[in-house]
A and B are shown apart, each in its own frame.
Chain A
Amino acid sequence: MSQTHKETLLKLQEPASEDVGSAADYIALMKPRVMSLVVFTALIGLVMAPGAIHPVMAVAAIALIAVGAGASAALNMWYDADIDAVMSRTQDRPVPSGRVAPDAALTFGLWVSGLSVLAMAVMINYLSAALLAFTIFFYAVIYTMFLKRRTAQNIVIGGAAGALPPVIGWAAAANSVSIESLIYFAIIFFWTPPHFWALALIKNDDYQAANVPMLPVTAGVKSTLSQIVLYAFVLFGVTLLPYALGFSGLFYASGAALLGCVFVALCVSLALASDKNRNRVAGMTFAYSIFYLFLLFVLLPTDRVMGL
């Protein structure tokens, strides 16, 4: 073996100087908390779809949706590292904190995205693979690269990416897109703006410092509050569509109406809150919105089991 070849081999065995990310950092790169909501809503879409899917294939489909969502989150963190570094909520993320190199995050995101879509096509069906690919593209490119830094409607339009998992879950089981799965999409789509704007009100200074045109930054607090109330009312109506169109029974309708009334009441009280209390009520609205969406998607299969 020549001296040069030996040196090359030794050099290859050395860890790349910037690649110090631990397994936990790479898991954090996939936004596991967001992933849990994606897994949950995709699972409900899959369970509610007509036809039977083998349990192993159901597990594979949900795992691939989770991995695809995680990969798009990694791409988002790669692109947004500059603004994440400015905001208190995000400055400890793996890329801005320097634990994962930007190139490593990009490579990881691209490989995992590609593999999840390819595996979905081979293992499940082409429709769910195409929907997964579109979701990753929409979140990583349309939302992250185009909408987020350009328009106050960023999370309204971008919310479509977060709303697609139940449609993918449905497509994995039924190999189709139906009115029912589109209603699940609409529920998450109209839930996203009041959920995010409640958080944006609390983190307004952060978004201002990072120059991200969230609605409270561009249109002011008052206009954001009226938009939150407006979306809460629209969401209330949309959540009753499964009952109105005959897909769900009275159990779902009464649960959704009750939960929706509480959400509307919280949004109205947020709009009426004094400057001193606003952040506290916004925090409550944000926390309740997660609970609200979770329970709505629990009600759907429960209603079917109860058959009311």
Chain B
Amino acid sequence: MSDETKQEEETVWTEELLRERRKRAAIMAIALLAFIALFFWVTLIKLGANIANRPL
């Protein structure tokens, strides 16, 4: 493949595409934060149950 053809196939990063990309990164960050929060919450629930039900 010649350099010219390669150049033609490369994506032109318009302002709109970059905006979409930033939006995607923000949504991914929110999803990750939600996952971490859920993980933390479930840990607290499991920990609480184990403390309540421990042999005395």
A: residues with CB less than 8 A from B are 15, 17-18, 20-23, 26, 54, 56-57, 59-60, 63, 119, 122-123
What separation, in Å, do the CA atoms of A225 and B45 have in the docked complex? 52
Within 8 A of A (CB), among B1-50: 9-11, 13, 17-18, 20-21, 23-24, 27-28, 35, 38-39, 41-42, 45
Contact of A26 among B10, B18, B24, B42 (CB under 8 A): B24
- Across the interface, do B38 and A63 meet the contact criterion of CB distance under 8 Å? yes
Interface pair A56/B17, CB less than 8 Å apart: no
Distance, CA A60 to CA B42, complexed state (A): 8
Chain B nearest CB, measured from A98 CB (Å): 10
Residues of A within 8 A of B11 (CB): 15, 17-18, 20
A17 in contact with B10 (CB, 8 Å): yes
Tell whether, in the assembled complex, residue B45 and residue A23 are in contact, meaning their CB atoms are under 8 Å apart.
no
Q: Let me know if A21 and B24 touch, CB within 8 A.
A: yes
The total of interchain contacts (Cβ-Cβ below 8 angstroms) comes to 40
Residue of A23, A26, A59, A119 touching B39 (CB-CB under 8 A): A119
Cβ B23 vs Cβ A22 within 8 A:
yes
Task: Report the bound CA distance from A123 to B17 in whole Å.
Answer: 37
Q: Residues of B contacting A21 with CB < 8 Å? A: 24
Identify the closest chain A residue to B6 (Cβ).
Answer: A17
A17 to B6, CA, bound (A): 11
Contact of B45 among A18, A22, A26, A57 (CB under 8 A): A57
Q: Once bound together, how far apart are the Cα atoms of A20 and B14, in whole Å?
A: 11
- CB of A56 within 8 A of CB of B24, answer no
Contact B42 A123 (CB under 8 A): yes
Q: How far is the CB of A132 from chain B (nearest CB, A)?
A: 16
For residue A56, which residues in chain B have a CB less than 8 angstroms away from its CB?
38, 41-42, 45
Residue ID in chain A nearest B43 by CB atoms: A123
Q: Are B23 and A23 in contact (CB under 8 A)?
A: yes
Interchain nearest-CB distance for A70 vs B (Å): 12
CB contacts (< 8 Å) of A17 on chain B: these are 9-11
The docked-state distance in angstroms from the alpha carbon of A264 to that of B38 is 44
Closest to B48 in A: A54
Chain A: minimal CB distance from B40 (Å): 10
A188 CA / B12 CA spacing, docked (Å) = 46
Contact call A123/B24, Cβ cutoff below 8 A: no
Known A-B contacts A15-B13, A15-B21, A17-B10; A23 and B27 likewise in contact (beta carbons under 8 Å) = yes
In the assembled complex, the CB of A137 is this many whole angstroms from the nearest CB of chain B, namely 22
Q: Known contacts A23-B27, A26-B24; is A60 also within 8 Å of B38 by CB?
A: yes
